[in-house]
Structure 1
């Protein structure tokens, strides 16, 4: 199963994917209105005619990944039979907690439940029932389903790399179906689609983070949050990250990761203590029960198509676009684990952390909104990117917590950019698990330029809609790739010798 054409594939995947993305950036620079029209037309077609497919695909992924975990295949090791886990359970669990979603959780944890409360998909707005529905929907969007998607991507990468010695590439997962053709045009096309999905998915996250930084600067210090300001934020962050990558300043990246972890914990504890402790605990208990009770029904629910296209379909597409990105991370730290260990840890531990996070932020937002006579609601109606700062304004020490919130978002931004450029470099260097600095720098610049173009095309808050649109469009072909990937994984597993 060795790759006889590694260097050729390396160059061709990098050249083709980067050339098309550069052309996309140029198209957006000189014909922004036309690009917006194409993106919107594609979005309308996919959500109107294929929104159901996103829902069914994620339902299939859920059944598949747990079916594999609890079958006899669950005992198969992600590695050779003699391989031991590289990390202790505590280290492994800690890394899984920090594996993804940083910017998204910070951005949406206050804004999303408040938006569902104001315009619920299935109940009267502004009622206690609307609040319960809003929290349940948050658990649904950020709970088990996204991590099921990541688990499939990670399982494919880990199994075929560590057990079958194939390149650390998405195309390797298709060896049972197409054999050595993974080294030819078909395999290259698969890896190029993985690059596109990663670029569009991460651009959405960077767009969210940069918008929140810009609106935070406006909310705190009155600096106008124009598309130009957002673009400057992205450019500065990209420059800093790229310089750090070229200079090999790994300590700077580690400092950013440490800041992210400690600030995240600090904010959770602070909001839990001052945002209404009893209400937070009550809401967590009630929402967890409602989430589990409605798990199957919510998975297939299509009672409000327009709402679904803007929320659930967007989220499923976003998570699918992140599958090569987060899957690569969880795969790399899971060598030596059994498939059952891997699936249960990857799907349950991070989703459990997300639910605790969302309960604290969302419940505190509802509590403080009531105490402030609707101040947070009004902020969300005006500009939902300011939701976090509107909530912090109702808590003690706002002059300290608001700048720290900016710092947390910056740390999440840097961490996402660092990981994304690493993964893109790996995908375009034949799966090299230690890609060169020049290639990482190249993808850092491309990611920054790409996100800036999308921001300028959309303009202001509308740019987020553009980012959501392109995420759904880019994720569609990769969703089909992931469905085929499941069958390929199964075919490989049935060829394993029975254990025991």
Structure 2
């Protein structure tokens, strides 16, 4: 049996590698054709995706909210008497780390400025334009996106730690497709997850390479050309590949912890040199407006106007969150053993979202204040190059020039480390899926995937830059969203089949709260 499983896993890996190589060669050798096909398919699918992604995200969000208040909230991700693997403080700290990344650094200033300049809601809003811009950014980085991460993390943790299944996505499909979850169908779903993850990681790496290149240009005067971006990708992927080859997981973990410190220092810089009282007031006010407007915003499909904005922003973000979900979801699952479903959902929904709102409120709020007060025209900067927004904002906050240079360099280092850890961790997740849940796949396989992801990122940048990266991640997310929907159904079916033994002293009575404790057996 073990031999069969090993052969099946190898075939699964070969199929995934073949698909990736085909896409890589197509993007490199037929750049014009690749760009045309992607744009044509994205354009043709636009009317359907406008309602499909809106509907499927609402479904995922609603499912997670219901689980959080249902009788299943006390189900433990492990044995009934199992204690959490990490302390609450350590667990929340790691969720904090999961909530930061290259994308948040890239868009926390650029996106509010773009919404401030243009959005389809301003005419009917009494809210201040800057507050509205922040609210729309909160929406794209808030609870709806984290519902996707919570869903896949919960499915992986439940079936792996409570049902003792492999730490792969197909394990969650067993209640839906039965024994086929270990056959061609189940492994096919794993391949779909791998392809979605590859495009999610490449999109993020593309954004990171662009911002590192821009930062080097702003701080050190290096030309911000495509070739600088490609050189940045080569260097960072070389670092990630070296860590893969040498097994330096402890080093990458320490880099991640170091990045949390750098992120905190960057946040403190903006908080001190920005309009502090205004930032606190604005963040609190916009958070309330976000919660008030969340239902209507979640169901906005652009049917009566604003479809271009919806496709440029919301549909891209939902595709990106879905494609990134296996990576972050598996990380969340691996640190959540022993938590109850209620604890899991509260932590994954609330803590990272609160941090994200604080981050965007302080960085984005500072940029909007500079724009509103006429200190500098940041909107023109964003229209020219979105990646410059972070560095120009740092420069215009009025700090001493030496400190400004130091903070700008720190921001570049922050992005570069996120870049390296994302590439390394993404490679680990892909190989875990393709190795039946093993966290120690062969080194050659991890090295191959690390190099392949770097090459694919470079190929997509050459084929059409950030626009092609954004379009491909949306298209890659479509089939995986179907897998996520099937996983949701599988999770609900598995929970309904949970054994509901009465508590001690109440034989013959159906308990209102199963799994409520760890009673001693009679």
In 2, Cα distance between equivalents of 1:413 and 1:380: 22
Alignment of 1:72-91 (within 5 A): 72-91=71-90
Alignment of 1:63-78 (within 5 A): 63-78=62-77
Q: Any idea what the Cα deviations from partners look like across 1:297-335, whole Å, max 9, x if unmatched?
A: 000012311110110011011101111111100000001
Using structure 1 for the length normalisation, give the TM-score.
0.96
In 2, Cα distance between equivalents of 1:292 and 1:61: 18
Counterpart selection for 1:398 from 394, 398, 404 = 404
Q: Any idea what the Cα deviations from partners look like across 1:394-438, whole Å, max 9, x if unmatched?
A: 131212111111111111111211210110111111111232332
Counterpart selection for 2:424 from 418, 427, 448 = 418
CA contact (8 A) 2:427 2:446 kept: yes
Counterpart of 2:244 in structure 1 is 245
What is the DSSP-based 3-state SS (H/G/I as helix, E as strand, rest coil) of the residue aligned with 1:11?
helix
In 2, Cα distance between equivalents of 1:431 and 1:228: 37
In 1, Cα distance between equivalents of 2:210 and 2:72: 44
What is the DSSP-based 3-state SS (H/G/I as helix, E as strand, rest coil) of the residue aligned with 1:120?
coil
In 2, Cα distance between equivalents of 1:42 and 1:87: 45
Q: Any idea what the Cα deviations from partners look like across 1:440-478, whole Å, max 9, x if unmatched?
A: 2111101101100001111xxxx1111110000000011
CA contact (8 A) 1:231 1:452 kept: yes
2:138 aligned with 1:136: no
Counterpart selection for 1:330 from 324, 329, 332 = 332
Counterpart of 1:446 in structure 2 is 452
In 2, Cα distance between equivalents of 1:4 and 1:440: 21
Counterpart of 2:14 in structure 1 is 15
Counterpart of 2:44 in structure 1 is 45
Counterpart of 2:341 in structure 1 is 339
Q: Any idea what the Cα deviations from partners look like across 1:105-145, whole Å, max 9, x if unmatched?
A: 110000000011111222169x9732121100011010111
2:101 aligned with 1:95: no
2:245 aligned with 1:261: no
Counterpart of 2:519 in structure 1 is none
Counterpart of 2:226 in structure 1 is 227
2:435 aligned with 1:429: yes
Using structure 2 for the length normalisation, give the TM-score.
0.92
What is the DSSP-based 3-state SS (H/G/I as helix, E as strand, rest coil) of the residue aligned with 1:393?
helix
Query: Alpha-carbon deviation of 1:372?
Result: 5.0
Equivalenced residue count is 495
In 2, Cα distance between equivalents of 1:15 and 1:468: 27
What is the DSSP-based 3-state SS (H/G/I as helix, E as strand, rest coil) of the residue aligned with 2:98?
coil
Counterpart of 2:103 in structure 1 is 104
In 1, Cα distance between equivalents of 2:331 and 2:461: 28
Counterpart of 2:34 in structure 1 is 35
Q: Any idea what the Cα deviations from partners look like across 1:65-107, whole Å, max 9, x if unmatched?
A: 1111211111111111222111000011111111144111110
Q: Any idea what the Cα deviations from partners look like across 1:322-352, whole Å, max 9, x if unmatched?
A: 1111110000000111111111111111011
Cα separation, partners in 2 of 1:100 and 1:200, compared to 1, 3 Å: farther
In 2, Cα distance between equivalents of 1:206 and 1:426: 20
Query: Alpha-carbon deviation of 1:221?
Result: 2.3
Q: Where does structure 1 lack aligned partners over 5 or more consecutive residues?
A: none
Cα separation, partners in 2 of 1:254 and 1:282, compared to 1, 3 Å: same
In 1, Cα distance between equivalents of 2:63 and 2:475: 24
Counterpart selection for 2:388 from 386, 389, 402 = 386
CA contact (8 A) 1:124 1:130 kept: no
Counterpart of 2:116 in structure 1 is 117
CA contact (8 A) 1:3 1:183 kept: no
Q: Which moved more, 1:157-166 or 1:252-261?
A: 252-261
Query: Alpha-carbon deviation of 1:270?
Result: 1.1
In 2, Cα distance between equivalents of 1:314 and 1:115: 15
CA contact (8 A) 2:206 2:457 kept: yes
CA contact (8 A) 1:47 1:313 kept: no
Say which one has the larger Rg. Answer: 2
Counterpart of 2:504 in structure 1 is none
2:217 aligned with 1:218: yes
Counterpart of 2:57 in structure 1 is 58
CA contact (8 A) 1:212 1:385 kept: yes
Counterpart selection for 1:480 from 454, 479, 482 = 482
Q: Any idea what the Cα deviations from partners look like across 1:134-174, whole Å, max 9, x if unmatched?
A: 10001101011111000110111011111111111101101
In 1, Cα distance between equivalents of 2:460 and 2:82: 45
In 1, Cα distance between equivalents of 2:299 and 2:145: 15
